[in-house]
Amino acid sequence: MKSLAYLTRQAAPPSAVTAGLVAVLVGTASSAAIVFTAAQAAGASSDELASWMLALGVGMGVTSIGLSLRYRAPVVTAWSTPGAAVLATGLLGASMGQAVGAFLVSAALITLSGITGWFARVMNRVPVALAAGLLAGILVQFGIGLFSEMHHSFAVVFPMFTVYLLFRRWLLRYAVLAALTTGVIAATLTGSVRLRDVDLALSTPVFTVPEFSWQVVIGAGLPLFVVTMASQNLAGVAVLRNDGYQLPVSPLVGWTGAANLVLAPFGCFGLNLAAITAAICTGSSAHQDPDRRYLAAVWAGVFYVCLGVFGGTVGSLLTALPVSLIAGIAGLGLLATVITSLTSALADEQWRESAVITFLATASGVTLLGIGSAFWGLLAGVLTALVTRSLRRENRLDGDTAPQDRPPSVRPPLAEAAQHRRRAGADNRI
């Protein structure tokens, strides 16, 4: 009996189990609404939405458990929340088959990036500022939606926002979860929650035959790949390394891509290394011994599988919740990501203008040739960068003209004044 209790403590330390559960709750509380929105954009039925949740839950659970046990490190995977936001706009008007085709293209590119080691090389070609501007342009609509819904459903959204701010001040880790709980209570008190529509049911996989439309692939599949790699996997690697886990990156990316590829026909649109939820499992709160923190990620994987198995219940619950609650929690859950994206987009002065162009073009929602604004925003940013950087290069070359070759009239007055001050200082020293 003592040996059983010892084995239980070793395999399931309370701190690790709690960290794993919190990671799953925090990760899904806000972003499940975004996944739901993306599925709606593709015209998913309730059964297909349940299949999405099953495929995503199993994918995240298996990869989190397998990679954590393989490397004895807290490797937490997650669905691509920014990717879901891309799909929420990029899949409008697309069929479910075309959506699955875009998932497969993105998953194949992620797998190839991991297997061949393209990840670092390819992503170095896309400036961080442009990728951040692209992401901010996509997510800003969710932030605006938070305050739009506050105008229409003040009694539900305002308490959520207030509680979110209070928890951001004192209990940052639970801010989104507390806001969601507050929103559910407020919506229940106002009578806008339709609990009679909630069904306790297990998920069943729904296989969708993929269709490949070049418009959907370019407008949704490629932006999904870029956003997942640039904003999610990069951040996930940074979290692991920040806490001292120096793991080989290519196998991690390759395995998440391969799992995504297998599960894509069932609705798994994107898997990647987690960042925010991973930080819950890599910190000291998960376990005092860094070598034992991988158990937190393993338990997160177990809870992810449970989430997937009851995906039908999750789908019906989301259907029963009012639009204001879903929009509010989506906006609050993505607020930190919007802030981080805008900060990264504007941090480097040489890329600032092109990043702003990327942000504005993407946020405009423009659609040309059936291709969504994410692609055109990135293209506009790249073209802006090419033009402005070439102009700056020409200006630098013009500035290399020797001072003695310049006409006296073009010598800047400030330069003359500075030279007089230097001469005066030299005379004083003599």
pLDDT number for residue 345:
87
Contact 265, 100 (CB under 8 A): yes
Task: Read off the tokens for 320.
Answer: 């029963």
Average pLDDT of the chain is: 80
Helix H or strand E segment including 127: none
Q: How many CA atoms lie within 13 A of 300 on its CB side?
A: 38
pLDDT number for residue 286:
80
Band of pLDDT at residue 108, cut at 50, 70 and 90: very high
pLDDT number for residue 427:
43
370 or 406: whose pLDDT is higher?
A: 370
Q: Is residue 254 part of a domain?
A: yes
pLDDT number for residue 123:
52
Q: Is residue 121 part of a domain?
A: yes
Q: In angstroms, rounded to a whole number, what is the distance separating the alpha carbons of residues 114 and 108?
A: 10
Could you list the residue range(s) of the whole structural domain that residue 153 is in? 10-350
pLDDT number for residue 403:
45
Band of pLDDT at residue 162, cut at 50, 70 and 90: very high
pTM of the model: 0.66
Task: Read off the tokens for 426.
Answer: 């030299």
163 or 349: whose pLDDT is higher?
A: 163
Band of pLDDT at residue 402, cut at 50, 70 and 90: very low
Helix H or strand E segment including 344: helix 323-347
Minimum mean pLDDT among 69-78, 226-235, 261-270: which range?
Answer: 226-235
* Residue 394, C-beta contacts closer than 8 angstroms, at least 6 positions apart: none
pLDDT tens for each residue of 296-347: 999 999 999 998 998 777 766 666 778 788 788 778 877 777 887 788 889 8
End-to-end distance of the chain based on CA atoms, in angstroms? 91
pLDDT number for residue 420:
44
Contact 193, 155 (CB under 8 A): no
Residue 399 reports pLDDT greater than 70: no
Band of pLDDT at residue 349, cut at 50, 70 and 90: confident
Q: Between the CA of residue 277 and those of 31, 206, 342, what are the distances in Å?
A: 12, 28, 21
Q: Is residue 369 part of a domain?
A: no
Given CA atoms 189, 194, 196, 202 in this order, what sign does their dihedral have?
negative
Q: Is residue 384 part of a domain?
A: no
pLDDT number for residue 69:
95
Amino acid found at 142: F
Q: In angstroms, rounded to a whole number, what is the distance separating the alpha carbons of residues 77 and 247?
A: 14
What's the domain count of the chain?
A: 1
Residue 158 reports pLDDT greater than 70: yes
pLDDT number for residue 1:
54
Q: Between the CA of residue 287 and those of 12, 21, 165, 281, 290, what are the distances in Å?
A: 11, 14, 28, 8, 7
Q: In angstroms, rounded to a whole number, what is the distance separating the alpha carbons of residues 421 and 87?
A: 61
Given CA atoms 153, 155, 159, 162 in this order, what sign does their dihedral have?
positive
| DSSP string computed for 49-100 | HHHHHHHHHHHHHHHHHHHHHHHTS---EEE-HHHHHHHHHHTTT--HHHHH
Q: Is residue 37 part of a domain?
A: yes
Percent of the chain topping pLDDT 70: 82
Minimum mean pLDDT among 145-159, 213-227, 403-417: which range?
Answer: 403-417
pLDDT number for residue 411:
42
Residue 125 reports pLDDT greater than 60: yes
Q: Is residue 367 part of a domain?
A: no
Q: Is residue 381 part of a domain?
A: no
